[in-house]
Amino acid sequence: MFSNTFVLAITSGLLLSCLKAYMDYRAALRSINYHPGFCALIPSFGMLGLLFKEPRRGLWGGWRRFWRRKYLDFQEAGVDIISHIAFVPSVTTYLVLADAAAIKEVTGHRARFPKPSYEFFRIFGGNIIASEGDEWKRHRKIAAPAFSEHNNRLVWNETAKIVCGFFENVWGSQAEVYVDDVVQSLTLPMALHVISIAGFGKQTVWRADGTLLPKHKLSFQDALHVVSTDLWIRFVMPTMLLDLAPTKRIAKVKLAFEEVEQYMLELIQERRDAEKRDERHDLFSNLLDANDSDENGDGSVKLTDEELLGNIFIFMLAGHETTAHTLAFTFGLLALHSDYQEKVHQQIKSIMPDNRLPTYEEMHLFTECTAVFYETLRLFPPVTTIPKISAEDTSLVTTDRAGNRVVVPVPCGTSLHLSVVALHYNPRYWDDPYAFKPERFHGDWPREAFIPFSAGARSCLGRRFFETEGIAILTMILSRYKIELKDDPRYAHETCEERWQRVLDVKDGLTTA
């Protein structure tokens, strides 16, 4: 008797839950006027999307869905704004955008379409990424001057020296060098050295003797590398569990965060204690100088020490990982397209035929390097989507394949995602979008359909830093070396598409990796 009652209660509960989900689903469809898209049990966004990242038709969207399918969902729907309704943990409606005009509308109206909360980025304190509204304006007022023209020049000059040091001290006189993991062996170490000097004024040397500074257990570069690699562990694990340190890896993550915080605090104190401040243009010094110059005289604009740490950490994190991965994809693309690589090499040699170091004033002349870099960012954007929220009942306008005007209702509280990858593969803006064609970035090109650094007022402050460093490294490498894929009999019979997939395989990471 008891068991029958229990089963009946469970069955009734499930039926009621299913009925409620169905009613919520119908209400969600009505709220967006039955706009086309797709449904899934598990969403493609948020922590659940990351947990069930691989897409399964009819079961869950998966974090990788929009990378795997790129523009296909929009192509099948016949319109460049699509809906995505998920059922777990509750019925949620998302609108996903691959329309350049609609994206411009969203990024141009911050009050109507603010960012969602990025609380997990407040590891050391509030910062420009995790803030919104007046708080964001305060952070931006202090942070924006740090990315100055003086800093860009420093980035270029120091990057050129770092690459030269790599040639001399790591590769030496080798005429041919085999790199098994281009990120770990080449681009990430270079990016770490650049962010050390151009970001924090900390000179580093290749093949250091391993001597640590007093009171430290990890070098600055080692600590930063661990933090960027295993940042997700810090996101998902409460501090209490980190303190228990159940594994060596978690213990090292905890130590790395402690070391990074200690290094940043020492840098702040060292800068403040200096009787006479040298004229320096690294990001860290610029940030402290801007914060110390209180225009109002009442401290209303100043950042607290915790907020300084928060911003420094964000600059440090974003300032090396994105560059390292983008350069790795660039080298892979050039290895697969030797004809264009030769074109880039010839332009570099025409500008500096004597193997001298390129100058910052010449950066604008390396148009082929810039075109290759941009095409890499189009094909492999650092982030696949940019989240926003509708703060009011509103609507967005797009067109269908027949050119008809389509008005999409956007109820207050709707989650919007600007699909960077779908926009970058949208044939409305890019001819033959799946092909590697750097020449598309010569002359006129659809700038509003290119958003690897986001768009509008919230676009990336470090864009110029990123481009300067990347183009400098690319120029230096291609001036001396030709990038080729190593012959391997295991892959002798693979097709061009199979080779592309193998060489340019995308892995999980804080950004596209």
Residue 187: DSSP 8-state: I
Number of neighbouring beta carbons within 10 Å of residue 14: 10
The 10s digit of each residue's pLDDT in 1-53 is 556 777 777 777 778 878 888 888 898 889 999 999 998 888 888 766 666 66
pLDDT band at 274 (very low <50, low <70, confident <90, very high): low
Average pLDDT over residues 384-392: 94
User: What's the helix, strand, coil split of the chain in %, to 5?
Assistant: 55, 10, 35
For residue 238, what pLDDT is reported?
Answer: 62
> pLDDT value at position 330?
96
Lowest mean pLDDT among 96-100, 128-132, 332-336, 404-408: 128-132
Closest C-alpha to 36, from 95, 89, 105: 95
Residue 436 contacts residue 339 (beta carbons within 8 Å): no
Please calculate the CA angle 430-511-182 and round it to the nearest 5 degrees: 90
10 Å CB burial of residue 124 (0-12, 13-18, 19+) is buried
pTM: 0.89
Cβ neighbour number for residue 492 with a 10 Å cutoff: 7
Are 453 and 463 in contact, with CB atoms under 8 Å apart? yes
Whole-angstrom Cα distance, residue 327 to residue 455?
Answer: 22
Rounded to an integer, the average pLDDT of 97-121 is 90
pLDDT digits (tens, 9 = 90+) for 467-511: 999 999 999 999 999 999 888 777 777 877 877 787 777 765 545
Q: Give all domains of the chain, ordered by start, each with its CATH number.
A: 2-106+393-424 (no CATH), 133-386+431-503 (1.10.630.10)
Q: Residue 80 and residue 68: Cα distance in Å, rounded?
A: 17
* Lowest mean pLDDT segment, chosen from 270-274, 320-324, 385-389: 270-274
More confident residue, 204 or 427: 427
369 is in an annotated binding site: no
Distance CA 138, CA 275 (A): 28
Question: Helix or strand or coil: residue 100?
Answer: helix
* Integer Cα distance of 48 and 38 in angstroms: 17
Q: What is the mean pLDDT of residues 370-378?
A: 97
pLDDT in tens, 297-328: 555 678 888 888 888 888 877 777 788 899 99
**Are 453 and 459 within 8 A, CB to CB?**
yes
Residue 339 CA to residue 91 CA, distance in Å, equals: 50
DSSP 56: B
* 56: pLDDT strictly greater than 80: no
